[in-house]
Amino acid sequence: MNTQATPKKRIALFGSTGSIGTQALDVIRCNPDRFEASILTAQHNDELLVQQAIEFNPHTVVIGDANRYQKVKDALAGKSIQVLAGEKALEEAASHDGYDMMLAAIVGYAGLRPTLCAIENGKAIGLANKETLVVAGDIVMQKAFQKRVPILPVDSEHSAIFQCLVGETRNPIEKIILTASGGPFLGKKPNYLVNVKREHALQHPNWSMGAKISIDSATLMNKGLEMIEAKWLFNLRPEQIQVVVHPQSIIHSMVQFQDGSIKAQMGLPDMKLPIQYAMAFPQRIVNDFPRYDFKKVSTLSFEEPDLRTFRNLALAIEALQKGGNLPCVLNAANEIAVFAFLRNRINFLDITNVIEKTMANVAFIEQPTLQQYFDSDGEARSFAADLIQL
Ligand code: NAD
Ligand code: MG
């Protein structure tokens, strides 16, 4: 195959030191003829950022925590790498011309502004950061449409749906079926959950991920955020989005068309697959990732999610249905509550109480402006933090 004629795709990897970020670099490392890392960003982990910069030689790196700027600058002295620091620098880097696709792999609300800058800058987005669409999905999608910027999902469920839709542009979706592993506490009840500790909640049965999304998977909030993400990505009504618990995580999600036919995308759970699909789309790249063998996992099972026990999912469905700034408020309260749980400040079930109270207290706005989303996020965060006395 002659790949020399095609220029390399220049990837701006926002959140390069995280779980998605490091796996995206694995993909780039294995495909040096196709991809190069042009921008790398990290919040705190300056050592890994420097190590990555030395290996991949990007033109720009950003360290979010400005206290670590000098350390990074000194370590990269003598290289022609621009070093930036601080929150605003993420937007500056996203507005840079020297890349083709942003891989949005920052965790949480912090990913929103840089992603908006990249869209404004006309760059394609590989979207791992689901919170961007949960907070301001209408504005993000509208801006992407205006700028003719593709948003390629990296989240495995949304990648699955996206893959099922290839070749189906003229065929409306009847519904999508988002699969959920059920997380480490599948089948457990509140009397068990009240006592679970952070270490236990961080142990996901099928995926190894960053701390925040691991807790979201344990509470099922992750699936709620993904329902909202799916609404915006695929332009769906809430009633077209169904969640099914599928503990083996082999079917990554499904689309049901108007004739009742259902397409599924399957494979072993490995985030490198949706990452490389988004980066190389519309091509599929040869790789040596382990393959799914029907003889080894011969049972695929499905069940209803337990909304009474995992009330975060019920709250997210409420936010999905009511819309407006409610998903933004839900997300902010969840970020604060998960942060507190990870520091052993509240128990597992309190996460839901914090979100529920915050949703009831921040004023509802039906059609928020971007500034109103920013304000709702701030208001929800301070309300939730006060509740927990953070
Ligand atoms: P992670 O915690 O492992 O990594 C987060 C990255 O973001 C790190 O590079 C960190 O330095 C950076 N970061 C953290 N806070 C920041 C801030 N305030 N400002 C700027 N940068 C900041 O997270 P992850 O598991 O890689 O997840 C990243 C995103 O991808 C999340 O939105 C998550 O929901 C989504 N996602 C992850 C997985 C997965 O398997 N890990 C799967 C699907 C979707
Ligand atoms: Mg997912």
Token digits of residue 156 = 């495995």
Cα 303 to middle of ligand 1, angstroms: 29
Structural domain includes residue 93: yes
179 contacts 269 by C-beta, under 8 angstroms:
no
Domain boundary among 322, 338, 367: 322
pLDDT, tens digit, for every residue of 218-256?
999 999 999 999 999 999 999 999 999 999 999 999 999
Query: Residue 247 is part of which domain span?
Result: 158-322
Pocket of ligand 1 (CB under 6 A): 15-21, 42-43, 45, 64, 105-107, 110, 128-131, 155, 207, 209-213, 271
Q: Cβ of 260: how many Cβ atoms within 10 Å?
A: 7
Label residue 176 exposed, middle or buried (CB < 10 Å: 0-12, 13-18, 19+). buried
Where residue 283 falls (left for φ over 0; alpha for ψ -120 to 50; beta otherwise) is beta
Asked if 139 and 219 sit in the same domain, the reply is no
Q: Cβ of 254: how many Cβ atoms within 10 Å?
A: 22
Q: Cβ of 304: how many Cβ atoms within 10 Å?
A: 9
Is a pLDDT exceeding 60 seen at residue 296? yes
Q: For residue 390, name the pLDDT band (cuts at 50, 70, 90).
A: confident
pLDDT exceeding 90 applies to what percent of the chain? 96
Domain boundary among 114, 138, 153: 153
> Ligand 1 atom 27: the closest Cα is on which residue?
107
Asked if 80 and 137 sit in the same domain, the reply is yes
Q: Of ligand 1's atoms, which has the minimum distance to the CA of residue 216?
A: 34
58 contacts 80 by C-beta, under 8 angstroms:
no
Structural domain includes residue 4: no
Q: Which residue bears the tokens 């003598």?
A: 78
CATH number for the domain spanning 370: value is 1.10.1740.10
Structural domain includes residue 26: yes
Question: What span, in angstroms and rounded, lies between the C-alpha atoms of 320 and 313?
Answer: 10
3-class SS of residue 337: helix
Asked if 314 and 328 sit in the same domain, the reply is no
Number of H helices, E strands in the chain: 16, 11
Structural domain includes residue 118: yes
Give every strand in the sheet of 82-85, ordered side by side. 82-85, 60-63, 35-42, 9-14, 101-104, 124-127, 151-153
What predicted TM-score, i.e. pTM, was given to this entire model?
0.97
Q: Of ligand 1's atoms, which has the minimum distance to the CA of residue 106?
A: 7
Token digits of residue 55 = 């290996």
Q: Which residue bears the tokens 């760059």?
A: 123
pLDDT, tens digit, for every residue of 337-377?
999 999 999 999 999 999 999 999 999 999 999 999 999 99
Asked if 195 and 307 sit in the same domain, the reply is yes
Cα 226 to middle of ligand 1, angstroms: 15
Cα 1 to middle of ligand 1, angstroms: 35
Strands (E), 140-278: 151-153, 173-180, 241-245, 251-257, 262-266
Question: What span, in angstroms and rounded, lies between the C-alpha atoms of 240 and 243?
Answer: 10
Cα 165 to middle of ligand 1, angstroms: 27
Per-residue confidence (pLDDT) for residue 2, from 0 to 100? 52
Asked if 26 and 119 sit in the same domain, the reply is yes
CATH number for the domain spanning 128: value is 3.40.50.720
Is a pLDDT exceeding 60 seen at residue 290? yes
60 contacts 82 by C-beta, under 8 angstroms:
yes
Asked if 309 and 363 sit in the same domain, the reply is no
Domain boundary among 132, 153, 174: 153
Q: Please report which helix (H) or strand (E) contains residue 379, including its range.
A: helix 370-388
Question: What span, in angstroms and rounded, lies between the C-alpha atoms of 235 and 133?
Answer: 12
Structural domain includes residue 2: no
Ligand that lies nearest to the alpha carbon of residue 243, given by its number in the listed order: 2
Per-residue confidence (pLDDT) for residue 82, from 0 to 100? 98
Mean pLDDT of the chain, nearest integer: 97
Asked if 18 and 130 sit in the same domain, the reply is yes
Asked if 16 and 102 sit in the same domain, the reply is yes
Structural domain includes residue 185: yes
Number of domains in the chain: 3
Asked if 118 and 24 sit in the same domain, the reply is yes
- The string of DSSP codes covering 148-162 is T--EEE-SHHHHHHH
Q: Report the sign of the C-alpha dihedral through residues 154, 246, 226, 234, in that order.
A: positive
Cα 3 to middle of ligand 2, angstroms: 31
> Ligand 1 atom 18: the closest Cα is on which residue?
110
What is the chain's length?
A: 390
Q: Which of 361, 264, 321, 328 is nearest to 132 (CA)?
A: 328
Asked if 87 and 227 sit in the same domain, the reply is no
Structural domain includes residue 347: yes
Give whole-number Cα distances, 69 to 37, 84, 187, 299, in Å: 20, 7, 46, 51
Asked if 125 and 114 sit in the same domain, the reply is yes
> Ligand 1 atom 5: the closest Cα is on which residue?
18
Is a pLDDT exceeding 90 seen at residue 207? no
Amino acid at position 342, single letter:
L
Asked if 312 and 163 sit in the same domain, the reply is yes
